[in-house]
Structure 1
Amino acid sequence: MVNAHDKELSQLSLAELWQLFPIILEEYNPEYPRWYEDESRALTAGLDQAGLGKALARMNHVGSTAIPGLVSKPTVDILLEVHQNPGRISEETHFQGNGHQQPGCIGLDRFRPALESLGWTLMSEQRDNPVQPGDEKNRGEGTEESGGNAPGEGEAPGDARGNPSGSDTGPRMVFNKGYTPQGYAPRVFHLHLRYLGDWNELYFRDYLRVHPDIARRYGDLKRSLLAEFRHNRDGYTEAKTEFIQTHTRRALEEYSGRYSSPGLYLNK
């Protein structure tokens, strides 16, 4: 009988993937910011070396590991936003924030070879599905807050499933690092590559950072779900959706427009 550990991840069934990569919750690790800083520096240097440095617009540590004191899966989520037209960056100082590709702009797939050379694995790719500017659905929510599925699934780790505003629009690519045939590596990362936009993850993160009571409730919810959904990432995701939607809406009201300029809250 072939052991799951002897197979490539792409050869594993969904059941095998969920067994190999169960939901694991750990107390906050004060080393998470350093994990993010190390990886963000490597990303910046690697993309610059590949001639893509001018396209980088904003990079942020998002997800539960970006919230001090919050229990989480030990996975650092990075939101990397890029300019659609690096030659006209000055014109993006004030933008619509809808994250959709405009005609004649560079495609996100231009970044794939450079990211793969840095050890990242592409897990999912979503093409553009335009919406009208100003439509709330232009925002997406992903990262650990949306459950983060294991490699090989239709939705990859950190992809936009169960997002608060119901958004599944706008092109995006999701990469990961740290998933091996033997299980999790010591450091695990999800990279969310998108065009510059006014993304919900940033608001949800900021809201929980300044509302520790809400963060504690979120942590309690996660713990309560662990026994039932340890090997069911879809169920874990679905069970958190209402909480995330509620508090993301409040965050969007409290911090309206905070991320509508690319220079704000850079590399946090």
Structure 2
Amino acid sequence: MRKFQRKRASESWPVGCAALWWEKMMSHDPVELVPYDPQWPQAFRRIRGRLLVLLPQALSIDHIGSTSIAGMTAKPLIDIDIVLPSLGHIEAATDVLLAEGYEPRGNRYDDEVWAFLSRGLVPRERVYLCPAGNGTHRNRLAFRDHLIAHPEAAAEYAALKRRLAGEFTMDGDGYTAHKREFVDAIVARALADDR
């Protein structure tokens, strides 16, 4: 039986998946931003319905990332968090996603969140599996909800994304890393507002 409790991505993936994950993580796809597409919410609802059939044990399936924020410039990629009852449910859900053709992208940040990317679907999907109570999932929802409620913060984030996409055209890791300070500040503000 595979173990998903271990932290390092290279130790927590099925045999063969770790190598595929590493190969995919080392490829350098361009950072492509597009204007907001009003079809993204509908695409999410369709994807969510399909995922609920595949993973009926899911506690929630949430649209996260920039495509979940009306008007936001974004990568043409629907980001989705799937919250499962516990870490013990990750393995079975992984098997389902792999059987559906999703590519494993690993647990890059040792945060009990496993990423998968759709192959050949339009729009592309990046699906994350995480257990209930996961801090990364909580932070993603806080960030999304804060930007939806504060259009000025959303506009500032969109401008930052456009600038960084120009600077890090072929470096997705650099693009993401340089957004971190802004994202962390918004999450801290959002979580403080919830208290």
* Whole-angstrom CA distance in 2 between matches of 1:249 and 1:9: 31
Going from structure 1 to structure 2, the CA distance change for 1:172 and 1:12 (only over 3 Å counts) comes to: closer
2:76 aligned with 1:74: yes
Rg bigger for which structure? 1
- 1:230 is matched with which residue? 169
* Whole-angstrom CA distance in 2 between matches of 1:238 and 1:27: 22
* Whole-angstrom CA distance in 2 between matches of 1:30 and 1:196: 30
Q: Find the residue that maps to 1:174 and give its secondary structure.
A: strand
Structure (1/2) with the larger helix percentage: 2
* Whole-angstrom CA distance in 2 between matches of 1:13 and 1:115: 18
Percent of aligned pairs sharing the same letter: 28
Amino acid at match of 2:104: L
Given candidates 24, 35, 49, the residue that maps to 2:32 is 24
- 1:60 is matched with which residue? 62
* Whole-angstrom CA distance in 2 between matches of 1:229 and 1:251: 28
2:103 aligned with 1:114: no
Q: Find the residue that maps to 1:238 and give its secondary structure.
A: helix
Going from structure 1 to structure 2, the CA distance change for 1:37 and 1:12 (only over 3 Å counts) comes to: closer
Normalised by the size of structure 1, how large is the TM-score?
A: 0.60
Given candidates 177, 188, 191, the residue that maps to 2:118 is 177
* Whole-angstrom CA distance in 2 between matches of 1:32 and 1:240: 22
Going from structure 1 to structure 2, the CA distance change for 1:118 and 1:238 (only over 3 Å counts) comes to: same
Going from structure 1 to structure 2, the CA distance change for 1:108 and 1:24 (only over 3 Å counts) comes to: same
* Whole-angstrom CA distance in 1 between matches of 2:104 and 2:21: 13
Matched-pair contact (CA < 8 Å) for 1:58–1:196: no
Going from structure 1 to structure 2, the CA distance change for 1:243 and 1:107 (only over 3 Å counts) comes to: same
Residue segments in structure 2 that go unaligned for 5+ positions in a row: 1-19
Alignment of 1:150-161 (within 5 A): 155=108, 160=109
* Whole-angstrom CA distance in 1 between matches of 2:165 and 2:102: 28
Going from structure 1 to structure 2, the CA distance change for 1:11 and 1:244 (only over 3 Å counts) comes to: closer
Going from structure 1 to structure 2, the CA distance change for 1:11 and 1:242 (only over 3 Å counts) comes to: closer
TM-superposed CA distance for 1:237, in Å, is 1.4
Residue segments in structure 1 that go unaligned for 5+ positions in a row: 1-7, 48-52, 85-100, 126-154, 161-167, 257-268
| CA RMSD of superposed structures (Å) | 2.2
Normalised by the size of structure 2, how large is the TM-score?
A: 0.81
Residues 8-39 of structure 1 deviation map (CA, whole Å, 9 limit, x = unaligned): 9976793xx21xx2000111101111111111
